[in-house]
Structure 1
Amino acid sequence: MTAISSAISAQAPPVTNMGDRDVSMGKEDFLKLLVAQLQHQDPLNPADPTEFTSQLAQFGQLEQLTNANKSLEQLGRMSGEMEKMSALSLIGQEVVAEGSAFHFNGESMQLGYQLDTPAEKVTLYVQNQSGSTLTTISARETSSGQYFVDWDGYTDSGMPLVPGDYSLIVHAIDADEKTIDSKSLVKGRVESVDLGGTSVQLDTSSGTFALGRITRAGGS
């Protein structure tokens, strides 16, 4: 059945992207070609049953790929809906977001940091959008883990900061004064959820964060 093999090679190149739904040759086309060849084969020189079995196996693989593609699409849609439901359930809850950018609304808030390994000294810096340090906070906890400090919104000179967007920079060093890995964390209460973009966004009292940046939800 070399004719069918040639037709498959010409019309249905190997599927390399499971998300690509544009398959030029479907299972119905395959069956039509197979039946047509059986009807027009030479009765004095019938087709090799081994090759016939091989062609049926190819058809089975094509059908499996089609079904797998549909299943993946359904799983993707279900995952997206579950993500949206999960985000909506966070409204009113306090969450912890990973990232340096945050919004200061004029009220005291909690700024945090995460250490993967113990540190000798940890310092938090609140900077404006120009990169200038406005507030310096010496953290007490230096063991590995997540920690938060209360910040009243005042600068090092005792002046209250105006509401706006700022950055939290964490600098952690070991006993040899070498910088170790650390992450900036911000706490905020979820006020609304934006489902309209390419990713789910949470609008919180401390700024807007992608759902994927939320490391913890609930608690005080």
Structure 2
Amino acid sequence: MAAISNLSQIKKYDPTAITTTVNDPTSTKDMTQNFLKMLTAQLQNQDPMNPMDSAGMTSQLAQLNMVDGINKMNTSMTSMLSQIQSNDFVNMSTTVGKKAMAAGNKILFSGESVNVAAKLDSDATSVKATIKAADGTTVAETDLGAGSQGLFKFIWDGLDGAGKVLPSGFYTLSIAAETTEGKTQTPTVYTSSRVATVGKSGANLEVTLADGRTVKPTEIEQWVA
């Protein structure tokens, strides 16, 4: 016959038992409580002929309260920042399918016109655009005329030099501008592409375009209707 275990030795839950709370001596709350305990003890045992400086004690307590306030403010700011980032993500997700113009010389032509631009460092008497196919063959060259300093915008309709519509695919754009002083400048090129997806990289938002580029929202120069 099997031995019967002594059930009286099994510990039972006692709701009236006192639980021990482990304090964090580095927290502002516990530091304040400890400070007040020490302050009370010092007041009880101070020398009547040489009392403690109440101004110094008040200053120390004020500093503890200030640290506690800063910690609470940091917590509130972190929560607020998280909410703002969440709202930004929701707002940015509505741009999927829209055209965004960002720095880059790659063009994904799919039968519809493409908005492009060049950021001129100074006024130019002549702005020339050259478009090449994926194999490096020049398919179109055009003189866009004079341009002012800043973002010089134009539209490529997907036509080659003979006025024929080019097949869908990837092309590259280069811009050369001649300044009013007769110097040649190579401005930064911007091309547009539809937004494919919006995602996150850590806490940062990322926009992936249909042509394969991944840009930050702050890198988008212009939204195109």
Q: TM-score, normalised by structure 1?
A: 0.69
| 1:65-96 alpha-carbon deviations (Å, 9 max, x no partner) | 20221122123212211221121111232332
Unmatched 5+ residue regions in structure 2?
1-23
1:100 counterpart = 2:96: no
CA deviation profile, 1:116-136 (whole Å, cap 9, x unmatched): 542222233446789x67354
Is the alpha carbon distance of 1:94 and 1:106 closer, same or farther for their aligned partners in structure 2, counting shifts above 3 Å?
closer
Cα deviation for residue 51 of structure 1 reads: 0.7
Alignment of 1:59-208 (within 5 A): 59-97=64-102, 99-107=103-111, 108-115=113-120, 117-126=122-131, 134=138, 135-144=140-149, 145-152=151-158, 154=160, 160=166, 163-164=169-170, 167-179=172-184, 182-190=187-195, 192-198=196-202, 199-208=204-213
**Of the two, which has the highest radius of gyration?**
2
- Matched with 2:6 is none
Unaligned runs of 5+ in 1: 1-22
Distance 2:96 2:165 in 1: 33
Percent identity between the two aligned chains? 17
TM-score using structure 2 length:
0.67
Q: Is the 8 A contact 2:106 2:172 kept in 1?
A: yes
1:216 corresponds in structure 2 to 222
Q: Does 1:39 align with 2:44?
A: no
- Any residues of structure 2 matched to 1:49-64 within 5 Å, and which? 49-64=54-69
Q: What is the Cα deviation at residue 34 of structure 1?
A: 0.9
Q: CA deviation at 1:38?
A: 1.2
Distance change >3 Å, CA 125–CA 61, structure 1 → 2: farther
Q: Give the aligned CA root-mean-square deviation in angstroms.
A: 3.4
Question: In the alignment, is the contact (CA less than 8 A) between 2:93 and 2:198 conserved in 1?
Answer: no
SS in 2 for 1:168: strand
